[in-house]
């Protein structure tokens, strides 16, 4: 069983630093322990800042690439589907995208749906594009986000498409003509 060690240290300035040897592997699923470690690191980074060695987990976003909002199903899924969100966010960030992950919105997972949606829509409005996780077609919240993004003329594409674009070098083509096609039910 994988295990992750996180070391949290008080800083002289009153902040918190986080250290870990864990580095997400692109294209490989994270274990639940790894997903929770990514969640803790992302929340700590957002709330208090980190030391440089942990900032290296998320490289500086590539200039000219769109800031992505991560969209997908949460309600009714185990752990609110945070492991899938955190894995996708880590993979996209490692490729060079800036990613707004609603699993990192700072609210407790069990907060009311409407409260999460209000916070998440604020995050969506700060982005240029949506990265859609599988299963979104069956999610009321994801459908609201996709509809809003479409009406705001944001680029909407699957997480897999954004990943393929990062490795293909054809970023400009997608940003010009992306359309989201939900996966058909099998």
- Asked if residue 30 is part of any domain, the answer here is yes
10 Å Cβ neighbour count for 72?
24
- Asked if residue 156 is part of any domain, the answer here is yes
- Asked if residue 185 is part of any domain, the answer here is no
State the residue range of the domain holding 65.
7-177
pLDDT along the chain (186 residues), means of 10: 68 64 58 66 52 47 85 93 92 89 86 91 92 94 96 93 85 53 49
Cβ proximity of 16 and 28 under 8 Å? no
- Asked if residue 37 is part of any domain, the answer here is yes
CATH number at residue 24: 3.40.50.10400
67 CA to centre of own chain? 11
pLDDT at position 185, please? 45
- Asked if residue 39 is part of any domain, the answer here is yes
Give pTM, 2 decimals: 0.65
- Asked if residue 82 is part of any domain, the answer here is yes
pLDDT at position 166, please? 86
- Residue 91 parent element (H or E): helix 82-95
Q: For the packed helices 159-168 and 82-95, what is the interaxial angle rounded to 10 degrees?
A: 20
Return d(Cα 88, Cα 102) in angstroms, integer.
12
Q: Which tokens sit at 20? A: 């870990």
- Asked if residue 170 is part of any domain, the answer here is yes
Number of domains in the chain: 1
pLDDT at position 105, please? 83
- Asked if residue 2 is part of any domain, the answer here is no
């Amino acid at each position: 069983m994988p295990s992750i060690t996180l070391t949290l240290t008080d800083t002289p300035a009153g902040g918190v630093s986080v250290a870990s040897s864990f580095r997400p592997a692109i294209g490989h699923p994270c274990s639940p322990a790894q997903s929770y470690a990514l969640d803790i690191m992302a929340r700590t980074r957002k709330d208090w800042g980190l030391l440089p060695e942990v900032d290296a987990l998320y490289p500086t976003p590539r200039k000219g690439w769109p800031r992505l909002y991560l969209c997908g199903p949460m309600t009714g899924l185990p752990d609110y589907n945070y492991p899938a969100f955190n894995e996708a966010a880590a993979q996209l960030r490692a490729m060079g995208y800036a990613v707004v992950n609603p699993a990192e919105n700072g609210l407790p997972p069990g907060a009311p749906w409407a409260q999460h949606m209000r916070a998440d829509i604020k995050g969506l409005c700060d982005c240029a594009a949506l990265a859609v996780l599988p299963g979104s077609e069956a999610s009321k919240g994801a459908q609201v986000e996709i509809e809003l993004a479409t009406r705001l003329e944001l680029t909407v594409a699957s997480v897999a498409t954004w990943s393929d674009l990062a490795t293909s070098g054809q970023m400009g083509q997608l940003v010009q003509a992306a359309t989201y096609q939900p996966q058909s039910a099998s």
